[in-house]
Structure 1
Amino acid sequence: MKARPMIRLCLPKEPYWLDLPFGVRLHVRPLTTAIYEAARIKGWRKARAVAREFADLKAVGGDISGLPDLRDDDAVAGFSQLLFAQSLARAAILDWEGVLDAEGDPAAVSDTHVADLMLIQGVAEAFVGLYTAPHEAVVAEGNASRPAADGTSAVGLDIAASAATTVPPAPVTEAVPPT
């Protein structure tokens, strides 16, 4: 009999330090599903709201110089990821070291400074990766009910692999993009 997958509950319970590139250290609260999901949803919601206003702002000559072309779904997804990193960092960061303001003095942890820190691609990527790593490790340990990569169902054992196929699969056709 095969052993059933198990999850080891070893997630951090107390605030801890993350070492990021460029000498930045962040003191963060432990990540919870609620913090993660709220930041993810907030990033997507804000990106979609800005994307809806993008065309109107451009049409009236508004300043869109700091924004990607939000008529493109990939650009919206990238912008959403930035907003996710900023939201996650705002919820997580309690204190930091190695972050200076424009005058070269230690910067106070504030919503604006956190957002500015997450604009630095190497820092944002390292932060999200390191901060979410404990939760990713739990999933990687083999939770048999983890979500499928496409988010549509749970991944489990493939019990149909040896089943005989009696009907050929439907032909695959290329989707025609909407006009």
Structure 2
Amino acid sequence: MLRLNLSTEPQWLDLGHGVRLLVEPLTTAIMLAARSDPAIIAAASDAEISASNDDLARIVAKAVGRIVVKDWEGVGDENDEPLPLTPEGIDALLELWPIFEAFQTRYIAGALILDAEKNV
């Protein structure tokens, strides 16, 4: 049986290393909006620069992140001062391998794989 979570409220996502993101539920509308991100369009349409699957995953994660992340905790500057949430900050955060991997696994893949809890 497929279990639907009908909540539309943002929820905190723990990415480890003391970092948490307040994210909206991943919906079809969000994935469609991310597909229209200029970086995704460029990567998909530029035949000369064929992006690898890893490059596309990184580009998609950033596009989705810029749409769904509404707040964050545990992100600071070199003086341990909290940084304000910005699109550039989200991109920089997702360039950190452990954070990217956690976001990819716990948010994007978690929303796309329906049988994670035998929901098929």
Q: Taking structure 1 as the reference length, what is the TM-score of the superposition? A: 0.56
Q: 1:137 aligned to 98, 104, 114, which one?
A: 114
Q: Separation in 1 of the partners of 2:83 and 2:40?
A: 28
Structure number having the greater helix percentage? 2
Structure 2 residue 42 is the aligned partner of structure 1 residue 46: yes
Q: Shift in Å at residue 136 of structure 1?
A: 2.1
Counterpart residue identity of residue 141, structure 1: N
1:53-77 CA distances to partner (integer Å, 9 max, x unpaired)?
xxxxxxxxxxxxxxxxx4xx4x533
Relative to 1, partners in 2 of residues 1:108 and 1:48: Cα closer, same or farther, differing over 3 Å?
A: same
Q: Separation in 2 of the partners of 1:10 and 1:138?
A: 14
Larger radius of gyration: 1
Query: Are the counterparts in 2 of residues 46 and 80 from structure 1 also a CA contact under 8 Å?
Result: no
Counterpart residue identity of residue 21, structure 1: G
Q: 1:86 aligned to 59, 62, 74, which one?
A: 62
Question: Which runs of 5 or more residues in structure 2 are unaligned?
Answer: none
Q: Separation in 2 of the partners of 1:21 and 1:27?
A: 14
Q: Separation in 1 of the partners of 2:46 and 2:87?
A: 19
Query: Are the counterparts in 2 of residues 27 and 96 from structure 1 also a CA contact under 8 Å?
Result: yes
1:142-166 CA distances to partner (integer Å, 9 max, x unpaired)?
2xxxxxxxxxxxxxxxxxxxxxxxx
Structure 2 residue 8 is the aligned partner of structure 1 residue 13: yes
Could you list the runs of 4 or more consecutive aligned residues of structure 1 that deviate by over 6 angstroms after TM superposition? Answer: none
Q: Taking structure 2 as the reference length, what is the TM-score of the superposition? A: 0.79
Relative to 1, partners in 2 of residues 1:134 and 1:76: Cα closer, same or farther, differing over 3 Å?
A: closer
Structure 2 residue 81 is the aligned partner of structure 1 residue 113: no
Query: Are the counterparts in 1 of residues 2 and 114 from structure 2 also a CA contact under 8 Å?
Result: no
C-alpha RMSD over aligned residues? 2.5
Q: Shift in Å at residue 34 of structure 1?
A: 1.4
Structure 2 residue 22 is the aligned partner of structure 1 residue 22: no
Percent identical:
35
Question: Which runs of 5 or more residues in structure 1 are unaligned?
Answer: 1-5, 53-69, 143-179
Q: Separation in 2 of the partners of 1:109 and 1:47?
A: 26
Counterpart residue identity of residue 85, structure 1: A
